[in-house]
Structures are given as structure tokens and as C-alpha cells.
Chains A and B, each alone.
Chain A
Amino acid sequence: MRATTTTVASEPIPGATDSGPVQQRPRANTRRRSFSGLGYLMPSLIVLAVVIVAPIGMSAYFSLTDYSLLGEPQWAGLQNYGDLLSDTGFRQAMWQTFVYTVISVPLQTVLALVIAAVIARRLRNRFGGFIRSALFIPVIAAMVIIGSVWRYLLGTEDGLVNSILGLVGINNVNWLGEATTALIVVALVTVWKNIGYFLVIYYAGMLDIPEDLYEASSIDGAGGVRQFWSITVPSLRPVTFLVVILGTIWSFQVFDLVYAMTGGGPGGGTVTLVMAIYNTGFENMQMGYASAMAMVLFVIVFLVSFTQRVLLSRK
């Protein structure tokens, strides 16, 4: 399955350079055939138009209005964007989303890479398979459920985390009670959840590295660590790129975990960009202002994934 995907991915879009049977047919027939594909596309075109394309346009429009859901949107020009610049709450949310990303993305990338390398180089057996399966379990659980389970485990009095730390003499830390530690803890729980996902992506990438490279370097006397730095890491550069981009995009979209773990608190210390959008739009009913925030999120995510597309297609 993996092999198929790789070859297919590099193929041009079929039909673009097709030759042979199609061209030999009578012209009328070609035309009939060539547009019949559109019919198959219709259901998905309609859904995407209603769910994504129209809403993006509407979002852009609403972001230029005052809209409270009660009346009609009132044109406001760039007012909302101007307000965003001086809005300390929004600036705080942006900063916290940034900090959360900077903590979680490098950590989950490095850990997933190292664990995948250990399993792929040393444990290509049942034990390795078991570890991959087990580490994948946090991936399949809903973020909001993980949030409430960790909130419970981090509970101050006798929670699991404090009890374990108590064994080494660290006394009850109020993990979610301080803004700084709460943000760090939320980022660490994200790492805990994402490792299994990126581990699988890395592992698949590692199976594509030719075994000869490792054999040759072994003959030259290179050890495991040396091989990791000189063969594994460089060969996986495109995969690392994907993992970092995906992780960054996900970070900027975080909501469920924060909602369940801290509700944005304490004192707004864990409010992220999407939580700010949700609160502004659905709690305060400022749909126009919330749409302006959504457009900021759109631009960030679009730029990040666009960079990925451009850099990867250049390869």
C-alpha cells in the first residue's frame, strides 16, 4: 500500500497528457465523454461550495461588519481589524497560542522521531509493533475526553500526578491553577496525545530508507547514534517537514483540549485563538469581530500549509 501511494503521488493528473485510445475516437464522442465526469463531481462540488467556499466568502464579509445576530450586519470597513490590533485579550490569545505551539511542536516532533528510529532500527518485531499500537491509543481518543481525564489526573489533593511526584518529595503543585504552568501542562498533554500519530508517519518513512545505507555505514564502523544523525535524520527531512507543518496547523486550531482542561482559565491564561473566536462569536454574539479573528486564523493556517505545498513540490 505504501509503495503504491508513493509512485502514484508522483504521477501527473491522468488525462492531462493522455494519448492513445481517447484521441483516436471521433470528435463528438470525445466531447460527450470528456464532460460526463462533471456529473460525478456534482455532489461533492455542492457540499464543498456550501460548507467551505461560501462560508469563507461570508466570513471575509462579516469580518468587515458589526453583526450581533439580532439585526442585519452593519458595514464597518476595517474597524474590526483595527480593533484587533489594540485588543489586549486578542493579543494575549495570539501569544498563548504561539507559546503553546512553540512548546508542543518541537517536543512531539523530536520524541516521535527518536522513538520511531529506535523501533525501526532495533525492534522490527512484535514488541515494536505492540509499542506502536499502544502509543497510538491516545490518538484515537477525543481531545475533549483527554482534557477531562487529565484534568482529573492533575487534581491538586490526591491526583495521580501529584501522588507520583509526592513519592520523590515534591508536594502538591496546583498545575492548572497558575496561568503559566497551566499553559505548559496543556501543551505537554498535546505532546502526549500526538506522539503516536507522528510516530506512525515517521515509521512509515523509515521503512523507505534503503537498508544498504545502514549496512555500508556499519562496515565503516558507524554506531547506532552516528547512523541516526547521518542517515536517518537527513533521509527523513521531508517527513519532518510534514510533521512540523501538521503539528503547527493543529496547534493553531486547538480548542477542545483547553475547553475541557481549563476552560481558558485561570484568568484567561490559557485562552487560545479558536477559544477567543468561540467566546467572541457564540458567547458575546459579536459575529463580525469574531469573523475578523477567524480570518486571522485563516491567513496563518493558509500561509503555513501553502509554504509546505510549495517547498515539497519543488523537491
Chain B
Amino acid sequence: MLHRTVQITVNTALLLLVVAALLPFAFMVLTGIQESTTVSLAFDPAKLQLDNFVRLFTEYQFGRALVTSAVVVVLACVVNLVVSSLAAYAFAKKPFPGSEALFWVYIATMMVPVQVTIIPLFLIVRDLGLLNTPVALILPIINAFGVFLIRQFMSSVPDELLEAARIDGAKDLRIFAAIVLPLIKPVLIALTVFTFITAWNDFLWPLVVISDESMQTVTLAAARLQGRFLTDYGLVMAGATVSFLVPFLIYLFLQRRFVQGVASIGLKG
């Protein structure tokens, strides 16, 4: 009897937590699809409309921002995967004199927050003439974390397997692409999902390197709406909804990958 009461109390508390986690998003969407220039909790089906979304795309270049974000995100994922997995292969399977020391340097770079390097990085990007380009946006997304994560998994691929392929006459690059990569697919997907969300949600760096409105990312476009219309809540929340929708849909499809990724961060220590 007592046990049952405890159980019900615990479950109710957890459900309340879920409500607290999701309610803000529900109101974000509700405000976006209603005709509202004031803050209002009243939900009136008669006021339902998609006008805010239409305005986002016709007046505030959200279509263009979506394309920019998509390009940036795809570029960031591909480049990060290729660069990181090649480097991880070198560290895990093709060590050279000094590679252990170099790996520690890699780990050390993970302790440098982007915010610390933002000023010189801005100057480098400016001098290279890359301001307002997608290339500038992906640069700080590529870091040592991917190398670190992939290396951990590559080390679990048995050396004997690679040796056998080598005896069969396979070249290194072929061993890498045909044997190692397929075996570590889960971590590659997890890293892709991570890179995707990081690139899509990035804000400070785009704020610094993108001044041209035709090159802004979705997050930037949504934030600029708020700066411009402190009181047009419907429009601002519609912008927030558009920005949130893509990561949310990806999460719905790839939930387990997210959780795996986060869990493996916890265990890497």
C-alpha cells in the first residue's frame, strides 16, 4: 500500500517534470501560429493562422537562411567526419614517433573554448576574405573532439584484422575505407549528429562573422527578429519555431544516437 503511494507520487513528479520541459516549446508553437501582438495565454482557434510564417519567408529571408544553414551544416559534417576519422586512423592504427605526444596536444586543444580564440579567428577570417561565407561558419566547428571520440572506437578494431588485409595486399587507405570505417559506423553517426546540432545552433561565431543579412543562418535570423520586434511575439516565436524544428525532427529520428553520443562523452572521462 505504502509502496503504491510512493510509486504514484514519484510518477506524478516525473510527469510534472516532463510538462515543465515541454511546455515552453508548446507555447512557442502556439504563439507562432496565432494572431497575437500581445503576450496571451488564451488559445483561440478562430485566431489560428500561418501569417507569421508567411511573413518570415516573404519579408525576413527565412528561406534563404534555411538554405545557408543547410549548406553550412552539411559542409561541417562532411569535413569534420573526413578530417577527424583520417586523423583518428593515424593515431589509432598508424602511430609514428611522437604521435603520442601529439595526441596530448590534441587533447589540450579541447580545453580551449571558442570564445577565447574568437578575436584572432575573426581577424584571420577577415584577412583571408572569408567574412560572410559558409567556409567561415564551419571553421570553429572542426575540432579535436571528433578525433578523440573516433580514436577511442578505432582502437577497439583488432590489429590482426588490418594485418590480414595488409598481407592480402590491401593498401592503407583501402583498409581504412573498407574495413575500419564500416566497423565504427555507430560513432561516425553519433559524431555527425553532434556536428549537425552544434553547427545548426551556433550563434556567437555567426554573429561575429556574418554581417550581410543574405548570408545569415536560421538561428541568427531568429535572434535578429527579436532584436527588431520586441513586442511582435507571434513573429518572434514563429522564427524560434522554424529554428527549433530541424534539430527537433532529427532528434525524433535519431534519438538513440544522441543518447549514445552523450553517454560515451560521460564515459570517456
Binding site for B on A (CB under 8 A): 1-2, 4-9, 11, 13-16, 18, 21, 33-41, 43-45, 47-48, 50-56, 58-59, 62, 115, 118-119, 122-123, 127, 130-138, 140-146, 148-153, 155, 157-160, 163, 192, 195-197, 200-205, 238-239, 242-243, 249, 252-253, 255-256, 259-260, 274, 277-278, 281-282, 287, 290-291, 294-295, 297-298, 301-302, 305-306, 309, 312
Contacts and interface: CB of A to CB of B under 8 A. Distances in A.
B71 interface: no
Contacts, number: 314
Nearest to B115: A274
B153 interface: yes
Given A8-B155, A51-B121, A122-B10, A38 B96 contact: yes
A256 B204 contact: yes
Contact of B204 (A18, A34, A130, A278): A278
Interface residues of B, number: 102
Given A36-B94, A40-B94, A48-B106, A59 B20 contact: no
A141 B236 contact: no
Given A136-B259, A252-B113, 4 more contacts: A8-B152, A55-B120, A56-B112, A58-B120
A37 B259 CA distance: 32
Contact of B17 (A16, A40, A115, A202): A115
A295 B21 CA distance: 36
Given A40-B87, A152-B31, A144 B267 contact: no
B39 A43 contact: no
A27 B161 CA distance: 23
A136 B113 contact: no
A14 B113 contact: no
A130 B208 CA distance: 38
B240 interface: yes
Nearest to A193: B21
A150 B117 CA distance: 29
B222 A143 contact: no
* Centre residue among B117, B121, B266 by max chain A CB count within 10 A: B266
A297 B116 contact: yes
A122 B188 CA distance: 33
Contacts of A122: 7, 10
B240 A148 contact: yes
